[in-house]
Amino acid sequence: MNNDTVALQSEVEQLRAQLEEAKRQIAELNQRNTSLQATKAAPDSGIEATPLDEMEMTLRRLVQRIAMILQAEKTVWMLYERESGELVAMPPAYGVDEETIRSLRVRATQGISGQVFREGRPQIFLDAVRDPRTIKENVAYYNIYNGVTVPLIVEKRDEQNRVVDRQTIGVLHVWNKRHGEEFNDEDVRLLERLASSLAAVITNMRIYQEVVEERKELLQTIESLYAGLVLVSAEGRITQMNSSARQIFNVQGDVSGKRFDEVFHHEGAVEMFRRGLATLKGSEAEEFGAGAELTFSEDGHERIFQVQSAPVRNEDGKPIGIVAIFNDFTDIRNIERMKSSFVATVSHELRTPLTAIKGFISTLLMDDAGFEESERREFYGIIDQECDRLTRLINDLLNIARIEAGESLKPHYTDVDIKELAQKVVMIQRQATSRHKLYLEAPEQMDTIIGDEDKLDQVITNLLSNAIKYSPNGGDIRVKLEDLGDKVRLSVSDQGMGIPKEHLGKVFEKFHRVDNRDNRKVYGTGLGLFLVKHLVEVLHQGKIWAESEVGVGSTFIFEIPKKLKLEEIEDAHPA
Ligand code: ADP
């Protein structure tokens, strides 16, 4: 071995030591990153750029040293890209400018690069211009006259330092030996050793990049979670709070690092975290993982959250903080509330007619003295009416179930004289009340329309009976029919209790009833308008809405086309 070689060898040893140090740093950083502490950094704060920069520096130094050790003008390394099947030159390079290096791509089947990559063996070429293996374009473009190319191989070793896996990830070139000399076999061996260091740095860098990428993805996922997520360290400092959580607690900006009890202005939540943190210190940390229900108030609206919390542990199983997830339960709780009030009203609605029917039948059965024929008839009449009421309720429930199941109510379309129908309904409803005055306003001449007569009857009846029900003090009720050319409009106005603004759109929702003192006295199920809307909008391609002023009265208006587009309605049965 000559002096030169000895010097170079020690240079290589030095490099290896540097590399070991870099590897150690990377491992440490990885660990630091995955731990809870690291989540403090915002995803784009750039904190993780530092170690990457360091790694890039190491790589750059290595590439430069390779050129120096081999006394080459240029060093270029290429990675294999599986999707394109190409070897792609990567920065940093030495002796070639970075912009041009990015455009160097070679198919893995071509040139010396391809050969070295495929065979996993080094190649030396002494005359690039004449050598049949070289790609002449590149030779000319990069002004190459001789060179050595070795494979970049990553080896995985077990504890006994035995190679368990070998993978060629790319190739390493040195081009143009200085002072007009030629590369020799000694250079090849040296370059092979340097290539293994380079491959190790590249691999570590990729692993690190993957970790950073994964962490970024994780943070983005947490950030975009619909549920609120809060992480509090064992010291009581907020380490993570996603956007939903910031909204729930009404906090702006980055609060990481601040104490939870200074940021959360919610007694229940503060108490929950305090208790959680206390258990972290004791042995109960195991059991801590409880669910709580917390109510938050937001512009006068209540929102109910179901909160699940659990300790966060490090690799050794030691608890280092608490994670809490806030799920919005408001809708579920409202549905539960609605369901129980629905069950109460339906039972009431079922019981009332049944009690009446049973009462009159018992009276008739006990008839010893003999009722007058007229009295008897009156009783039968009431029983008949109450039976109809029961049937209506049961039909409503069945229809709702059908709509719920996604089926449309089966329509039966014919020509309908809407004016005559409105007159009929008004006449029937007049008999149901002595306190209200019912008026019908309609044009002299009115076209017939295509529709389902029974269903339209149900719509108008429902609107009229609501107008009567919700005007307990009587008043005028006006039904107005208008011809709008290709549509007809029907409106029902009353002088009743009216509907508060915030309920106007909601009264068409299933089970929705205005909840106030006046309204509570009137029994109902909240199903009528839901069905009416379905009948108007789905079966008659129309629209329905309400206008109202509390204490003044309400108007319900619907418009339907005179000629339906039957092809757009499933299960249509044209006459
Ligand atoms: P129900 O009458 O059985 O409660 P509806 O679906 O027919 O069910 O009506 C839903 C709610 O809309 C009623 O509970 C009532 O609060 C309100 N409402 C409907 N019609 C009127 C009206 N004409 N005036 C005032 N409120 C009304």
Give per-residue pLDDT as tens, 519-536: 777 877 788 999 999 999
Q: What is the mean pLDDT of residues 478-482?
A: 97
Percent of the chain with pLDDT over 90: 54
What pTM was computed for the model? Answer: 0.51
Mean pLDDT check: name the lowest of 16-20, 268-272, 409-413. Answer: 16-20
In this structure, the number of other CB atoms found within 10 A of the CB of residue 113 comes to 30
The residue ranking higher by pLDDT, 5 or 234, is: 234
What is the dihedral sign for C-alpha 492, 495, 496, 498?
positive
Exposure of 441 by Cβ count < 10 A (0-12 exposed, 13-18 middle, 19+ buried)?
Answer: exposed
- Residue 567: band (very low, low, confident or very high) from pLDDT cuts 50, 70, 90: confident
pLDDT of residue 570: 58
pLDDT of residue 571: 54
Residue-by-residue DSSP string for 264-333: ---HHHHHHHHHHHHHHHSGGGGT---EEEEEEEETTEEEEEEEEEEEEE-TTS-EEEEEEEEEE-HHHH
- Give me the residues paired with residue 170 across strands: 79, 152
Residue-by-residue DSSP string for 425-476: HHHHHHTT-SSEEEEEE--SS---EEE-HHHHHHHHHHHHHHHHHT-TT-EE
471 lines ligand 1 (CB under 6 A): no
pLDDT of residue 133: 94
Residue 544 has phi, psi (to 5 degrees) of -135, 145
- Give me the residues paired with residue 437 across strands: 476
Determine the Cα–Cα distance for residues 245 and 220; give it in Å rounded to an integer: 14
Tens of pLDDT, residues 455-475: 999 999 999 999 999 999 999
Interstrand relation of 436-441 and 475-483 (parallel, antiparallel or unpaired) = parallel
If DSSP states are collapsed to H, E and C, what string results for 163-199? Answer: EEEEEEEEEEEEEEEHHHCCCCHHHHHHHHHHHHHHH
Determine the Cα–Cα distance for residues 185 and 547; give it in Å rounded to an integer: 94
Supply the residue whose CA is at minimum distance from atom 19 of ligand 1. 466
Tens of pLDDT, residues 481-540: 999 999 999 999 999 999 999 899 899 988 788 877 777 778 777 889 999 999 999 999
Supply the residue whose CA is at minimum distance from atom 8 of ligand 1. 526
Q: Is 256 helix (H, G, I), strand (E, B) or coil?
A: coil
- Report which of 102, 97, 99, 113 is spatially closest to residue 174, judged by C-alpha positions: 113
183 lines ligand 1 (CB under 6 A): no
Exposure of 450 by Cβ count < 10 A (0-12 exposed, 13-18 middle, 19+ buried)?
Answer: middle
Among 499, 506, 511, 556, say which to mutate for ligand 1: greatest number of ligand atoms within 8 Å of CB. 499
Q: What is the mean pLDDT of residues 184-195?
A: 95
- Report which of 120, 106, 110 is spatially closest to residue 169, judged by C-alpha positions: 120
Q: What is the side-by-side order of every strand in the sheet holding 147-157?
A: 105-107, 86-94, 72-81, 163-177, 147-157, 123-125
Q: What angle do CA 351, 355, 358 make, to 5 degrees?
A: 135
513 lines ligand 1 (CB under 6 A): yes
466 lines ligand 1 (CB under 6 A): yes
- Residue 50: band (very low, low, confident or very high) from pLDDT cuts 50, 70, 90: low
Whether residue 269 has pLDDT greater than 50: yes
- Residue 236: band (very low, low, confident or very high) from pLDDT cuts 50, 70, 90: very high
Among 470, 535, 554, say which to mutate for ligand 1: greatest number of ligand atoms within 8 Å of CB. 470
Determine the Cα–Cα distance for residues 464 and 480; give it in Å rounded to an integer: 12
In this structure, the number of other CB atoms found within 10 A of the CB of residue 500 comes to 15
Percent of the chain with pLDDT over 70: 88
The residue ranking higher by pLDDT, 314 or 467, is: 467
- Per-residue b or e along 268-291, where b marks 16 or more CB atoms closer than 10 Å to that residue's CB: ebeebbeebbebbeeeebeebeee
**Ligand 1 center to residue 526 CA distance, Å?**
7
Whether residue 204 has pLDDT greater than 90: no
Q: What is the mean pLDDT of residues 434-449?
A: 95
Find out whether 149 and 122 touch, Cβ atoms under 8 Å. Answer: yes
Q: What is the DSSP letter of 508?
A: G
Residue-by-residue DSSP string for 373-428: HHHHHHHHHHHHHHHHHHHHHHHHHHHHHHHHTTPPP----EEE-HHHHHHHHHHH
- Residue 37: band (very low, low, confident or very high) from pLDDT cuts 50, 70, 90: very low
Tens of pLDDT, residues 331-371: 888 888 877 877 877 888 788 889 889 988 988 888 776 78
Whether residue 16 has pLDDT greater than 90: no
Supply the residue whose CA is at minimum distance from atom 3 of ligand 1. 524
Whether residue 48 has pLDDT greater than 60: no
86 lines ligand 1 (CB under 6 A): no
pLDDT of residue 310: 86
Find out whether 448 and 418 touch, Cβ atoms under 8 Å. Answer: yes
Find out whether 453 and 421 touch, Cβ atoms under 8 Å. Answer: yes
pLDDT of residue 385: 85
Q: Is 91 helix (H, G, I), strand (E, B) or coil?
A: strand
Verify cis geometry, omega within 30 degrees of 0, for the bond prior to 122.
no
Determine the Cα–Cα distance for residues 530 and 400; give it in Å rounded to an integer: 8
Q: What is the mean pLDDT of residues 385-398?
A: 87
pLDDT of residue 190: 94
Calculate the average pLDDT of the chain: 86
pLDDT of residue 525: 79
Which atom of ligand 1 is closest in space to residue 497's alpha carbon?
25
Q: Is 149 helix (H, G, I), strand (E, B) or coil?
A: strand
Tens of pLDDT, residues 105-123: 999 999 999 999 999 999 9
Whether residue 13 has pLDDT greater than 60: yes
Find out whether 174 and 125 touch, Cβ atoms under 8 Å. Answer: no
